[in-house]
A and B are shown apart, each in its own frame.
Chain A
Amino acid sequence: MENDEFEDKLNSAVKSSPYVIKRQPSAILASFHEQENAKKNFRVRKGAFVGLCSALAAAVVALAVYVPLSLKNVNSADDPASISVDDDFVSPLTNEQQVLGYEAKALSSYFVSQKPLAKRSDDSASFSQAVTVYEKMESSVRSAYEWKDSDIHAETGSFTGNDGVSYPYKLTINETGVLLYNLDLAKTGQVTASSFEGEMTFANGVSKKASGTTIVRGNGKADLELRLYQDGTSYLKITEISTNGKFYFSSGLYLDGTLSYGYSIRLAKASNRQVMMASYWNGEENVEGTFRIYRESETSYRLYQSFVSSYINLQYSGTTRSYAYNGVTINK
């Protein structure tokens, strides 16, 4: 292939699938106006730094706690994608809360295991606060999930795969329901893949389907997809992808095959930073933000968050602190 021909083809390919820029012009305009207002109105007061730290912590908590819980509000009781449970199942939570509880639990486990900046406890008050909230949520959800022993039968056994490896399993079957559970496990080299399709028929005759796949590659990579069906085209889809240093979690409510509500969180770790990006689709618009922690050295780091239309930049260097709001330096 001639150089020119190669160049044309390469450049066309590069241009053909450009990165989709997510930042909305309205967010930039809002940031601009906020900056203008900040210039006019913002006055540094004693204690402002503490307030900014609190705002930062609140932003973290709001992102991962409020956003999932806010789905509760849009999932009304007659939502076709709500997940029904048997009447014998006693839980103080609504159906939607149970599903969200699972997600909160998964998120909680992840954040608790990560404990960002835990090495610098003095500087990690914001994150410690967020982690504490997660831990409380997890505890609350776990206690709310307790099944009554008299209502269930549990069977524990093992499944031997084609590779001769024994995989333990546990099935929990409701006394008045029927659970059909097809489990498929395969292991090739370092890759373990499993998939399942299940259908539960409840006492009221209503059947619900669930399906999922899990792939663990053995080198720090794992994929999980779980779908809880209301019918063939309406379902809740939960996706989790983790690789070395990166984690992606998304949850979407699909009605008639179309994403109606959903959010995603992506975390990435590089040598000097951790990044959390979140987006939330409320059915009409996408709201998103990022949260970054940059480790600049052992004695300095920078916290950077951009949610919706504003951001706070904090920088520590030894005993010196500087911070800015929406790009305007407040104090040095």
Chain B
Amino acid sequence: MTEETKKQINLAIKDLKKDPDAFFASFYELTKGPLYYLILSYVHDHPLSEDLMQDTYVSFLTNLSKLSLRLNPYSYLMTSGRNKALDYLKSKKNDVSLDDEGVQETIGSEENMDDAEPLLAAISRLVSPFEFRIYVQHVLSDMTFKEIAELEKRPLGTITATYSVAIAKLKKGLENYGK
């Protein structure tokens, strides 16, 4: 995410605190993409991601008055989205196993992505869930590796190495791509 976009988001949050009804639409336009894909990176399901994204925004608006602009509300929004996704996956613990590598399996099926984003669905099949998560957060949520490391609570080196492994796998798996 560019510095300019970050500035716009910070200004939008200032406006939002003054009048949520008047300024939510512009704030939503600036942030929906990164937040949406962050959630998708965990749950692998488009419609479910939209629902969880809505929950995240509602929660954000509910707590908006308590948020200090000095404490990076955008980061709070993204962390809240991650927590919503993880809460959901934990509620499905009968179907999902969690271990040190994070979410190994999600309840979402690639079928749900095939229709809307076939390339992304193909990517999800070629890499591990953790690699997919890092890839999507970096490429589609516009997060830097440092931001991902902070969000995932992992060393920066782990994140960059995971991304490199994902790219190598994708290059092999999509060898005909781009020719």
A interface vs B, CB < 8 Å?
1, 3, 5-7, 9-11, 13-15, 17-23, 25-29, 31-32, 35-36, 245-246, 268, 270, 272-273, 275, 277, 290, 292, 294, 296-297, 304, 306, 311, 326-327
Contact = CB atoms under 8 A, between A and B. Distances in A.
27 contacts: A3-B167, A3-B171, A5-B178, A6-B178, A14-B123, A17-B117, A18-B33, A21-B36, A23-B32, A23-B50, A23-B54, A26-B25, A28-B28, A28-B54, A31-B58, A32-B20, A32-B62, A36-B62, A245-B111, A246-B111, A290-B47, A290-B51, A292-B47, A297-B94, A327-B55, A327-B58, A327-B59
A264 B59 CA distance: 30
Contacts of B50: 21-23
B24 A10 contact: no
Contact of A10 (B21, B53, B174, B179): B174
Contacts of A29: 20-21, 24, 61
A10 B32 contact: no
B151 interface: no
A14 B117 CA distance: 8
Contacts of A32: 20, 57-58, 61-62
Nearest to B171: A6
A272 B95 contact: yes
A10 B111 contact: no
A28 B57 contact: yes
B139 A14 contact: yes
Contact of A9 (B55, B111, B177): B177
A31 B20 CA distance: 13
Contacts of B179: 1
A251 B144 CA distance: 43
B11 interface: no
Contacts of B20: 29, 32
B12 interface: no
Closest 4 CB pairs of A and B: A25-B28, A25-B25, A9-B178, A32-B61
A22 B58 CA distance: 16
Q: How would you classify the secondary structure of chain B's contact residues: helix, strand, loop or mixed?
A: helix
A35 B59 CA distance: 10
Given A6-B170, A28-B28, A28-B54, 4 more contacts: A7-B167, A18-B33, A245-B111, A290-B51
Interface string B58-69: 110110000000
A1 B140 contact: no
Nearest to B60: A32
Interface in B33-48: 33, 36, 40, 46-47
B97 to A, nearest CB: 15
Contacts of A5: 178
B140 A35 contact: no
Q: Which of B54, B107, B178 has the most CB of A within 10 A?
A: B54
Given A6-B178, A35-B62, A268-B112, A275 B47 contact: yes
A28 B16 CA distance: 14
Contacts of B177: 6, 9-10, 13
A327 B95 CA distance: 22
A324 B150 CA distance: 32
Contacts of A25: 24-25, 28-29
Contacts of A297: 94
Contacts of B58: 28, 31-32, 35, 326-327
A272 B140 CA distance: 28
A14 B25 CA distance: 25
B1 interface: no
B122 to A, nearest CB: 10
A70 B117 CA distance: 32
